[in-house]
A and B are shown apart, each in its own frame.
Chain A
Amino acid sequence: MNSESETKIRAIIVDDEPHARQGMERALSDFSDLVIVGICENGLQAVKVVNELQPDLIFLDIQMPKLDGFDVLELLGDQAPCVVFVTAYDEYAVQAFEANALDYLLKPLDPERLNKAMEKIRERIGSESSPQYTELLVGRERENELLQRILVRDGSDVHVLAVNSVCYIESADDYVAIHTEDATHIKLDRLGKLQDKLDPRQFCRIHRLCLLNINFLSRIETETKDSKIAILESGKELPISRSGYADLKKLL
């Protein structure tokens, strides 16, 4: 890379449709101060590429398989660079972008709108103040019903865990450790926040630090008079607090 490209905006394009990727690439080629450093076909690739290339800007399609644009944003967390959302018809998304004063483009691309968006982006990247995307995701979570899957990122790798395959979730500071039958995944999240999004008939807070999927519970043993232990089908033992036991009994 020469010194000139250092000052250019390094962008990636994320879209699942080949023609759309080409169209965006073509439209962006008009901007001499922007260089496309990566083109991704889906959300998984996008997370990987952002992690590896640390671009300044993503043109992020909303409707994509498996991980949509919002999922990508959630997984990137604080690592998310400047984002320009691209959507064809998602009414809800457009409302959310408007409400949060975020940049978005509609498909088919209007060159004039793209020009305006680029002007804003130059300002934003120059000022170093990254916009807040969390608001956007909070609004979206409210929209959704119970969580069916949990997204976890491990560096460049993304895991999509079915909620039903999660045995239990432990809390550790700002993280949660999600235990499935064959692996443990670390996610930057709060146990309480996660619990709110999971089915309360399936997940029980048996302890301040532990959320249990009762489908994996084998039996409950009494160790001493006041301390009980949950034995999972895998043989794993988890302590149950007094209030946790009350909740668990109610559920069973």
Chain B
Amino acid sequence: MHPFFNTTGKVFFLLFGWLVVSASVAALISITLDVDLLDSTVLVMPLYILLLIFIVPNYYACRGLPIRETPWLVLLGSHLLILGVGTGMWMLAGEAYSRLLDSFVEQARWVSIFERSLYINLSIVIIQFEIVALIHYLYLALEATKNLQQAALKQKLLISQAELQTLKATVHPHFLFNSLNTLSNITLSTPEAAHRFCLLIAEFLRYSVAYSKKNSAALSEELEHIQNYLGIERERFGDRLETSFEIDDSLLETKVPPLILFPVVENAIKHGIDSCIEGGLLAIVVREQEGSLVFEVRNPVDELGRKLKGTGHGLASVKQRLKTRHGEKALLKVERDNGTFIAKIYLPLSNEEEVLPE
């Protein structure tokens, strides 16, 4: 639906405008050519309603030929063509209409009025064609800004939802229960270890709460957070959890979305190490590859182990966050290879700003 006709108010406003314009033109012709006002009105009014019908579809042409993206020659050519065809058709219609009028009366006069007023009519029609095109473009520009704002808002909402999800996942009740149990056991056996354990949990929670609201964090901070997490889980798992890190030090200051790497590590523990009777090695590698930061986590998984509910939820939320932040430039890849689970996060290393509205 044409945006000028989508409410009755707009339609009335438009018709009123047209009435004023056509009445003025009728008066102008009547004065300059010294013809009867009634005669010029009878000729002009219906023809200008017709013009309205000719001009309005111009909107679709304007929409199809966006000013910024269309080469100016194409733009000019297209509009000249539309103008030529439009005015030509309108002229033919005017000629036909005035002949029709003349055929009803004894004293033919409208064909002569139409032909004599052609230069006035043509210039007004051309001006109107172009003014309407400008109005259309103005309208489209406004609309685009509005859409952009809406999209930005929507994305902001998406991101905050994902962020909330991360926070929720980070302080998952099961994690808290497990940690609490471990703590209650070590407070009795080794009070000093209990104190260290409390520090780890405090650091871990502090980071989770603070950084889930931030826009970016240094890779080094993220890795420290992951170390804290693994420190907590190491208490719980004992010998069942081994870890190894292989980090490209030149990447440590790279900015990454906060808490985007953590769910992959958590997933490796929950569904990997904890599925294996003997546990195993959780290996983390950070390296650069073709302009991307690659964060890789490898862990053993027992395919015949007890299946936990909710598998893959954490990873799905990582995927969504990567997509809202970086579009196609970031991704999460997972593969299973004979009892090994490998998850890789690719983040673009370029300095260009994220598609992230503040």
Contact = CB atoms under 8 A, between A and B. Distances in A.
Nearest to B180: A108
B238 interface: yes
A17 B304 contact: no
A108 B184 contact: yes
Contacts of A149: 304
A139 interface: no
Interface string B228-264: 0000000111111000000000000000000000000
A245 to B, nearest CB: 33
Q: Closest 9 CB pairs between A and B?
A: A108-B184, A23-B185, A19-B185, A18-B238, A107-B181, A89-B177, A88-B177, A160-B304, A66-B277
B202 to A, nearest CB: 19
Contacts of A162: 303-304
A20 B185 CA distance: 6
Contacts of B238: 17-19
Nearest to A67: B306
A88 B178 contact: yes
B288 interface: no
Given A17-B236, A17-B238, A19-B185, A66 B302 contact: yes
Contacts of B222: none
A22 interface: yes
14 contacts: A17-B182, A23-B184, A23-B185, A64-B306, A65-B277, A66-B277, A66-B305, A67-B306, A88-B178, A107-B181, A109-B184, A148-B307, A149-B304, A162-B303
A197 B303 CA distance: 19
Interface in A66-101: 66-68, 71, 88-89
B169 to A, nearest CB: 16
Contacts of A66: 275-277, 302, 304-306
Given A44-B277, A65-B276, A66-B276, A22 B185 contact: yes
Interface string B153-197: 000000000000000000001100110111011101100000000
B266 interface: no
Contacts of A42: 277
B274 interface: yes
A152 B235 CA distance: 32
A88 B189 contact: no
Most central of B173, B181, B302, B303 by chain A CB within 10 Å: B181
A67 B276 CA distance: 10
A250 interface: no
Contacts of B177: 88-89, 107
B234 to A, nearest CB: 11
B182 A19 contact: yes
Contacts of B188: 23, 26
Most central of B178, B185, B188, B302 by chain A CB within 10 Å: B185
Interface residues of A, number: 25
Nearest to A109: B184
Contacts of B306: 64-68, 71
Nearest to B238: A18
B181 A108 contact: yes
Nearest to A144: B307
Nearest to A68: B306
A65 B274 contact: yes
Interface string A31-48: 000000000001010000
Nearest to A163: B304
Contacts of A17: 181-182, 236-238
Contact of B236 (A19, A64, A160): A19
Interface in B186-238: 186, 188-189, 235-238
Contacts of A16: 240
Contacts of B275: 65-66
A108 B187 CA distance: 12
B155 to A, nearest CB: 35
Interface string A93-133: 00000000000000111000000000000000000000000
A188 to B, nearest CB: 20
A74 to B, nearest CB: 12
Nearest to B178: A88
A179 to B, nearest CB: 18
B277 A108 contact: no
A26 B235 CA distance: 18
Most central of B236, B275, B302, B306 by chain A CB within 10 Å: B306
Nearest to B189: A22
A65 B301 CA distance: 11
Contact of A19 (B174, B235, B239): B235
Contacts of B277: 42, 44, 65-66
Contacts of A107: 177, 181, 184
A89 B173 contact: yes
B309 to A, nearest CB: 9
A65 B236 CA distance: 13
B174 A89 contact: yes
Nearest to B186: A19
Given A65-B275, A149-B304, 19 more contacts: A17-B181, A17-B182, A17-B237, A17-B238, A19-B186, A19-B236, A20-B182, A20-B185, A22-B185, A23-B185, A65-B279, A68-B306, A89-B174, A107-B181, A107-B184, A108-B180, A108-B184, A148-B307, A162-B304
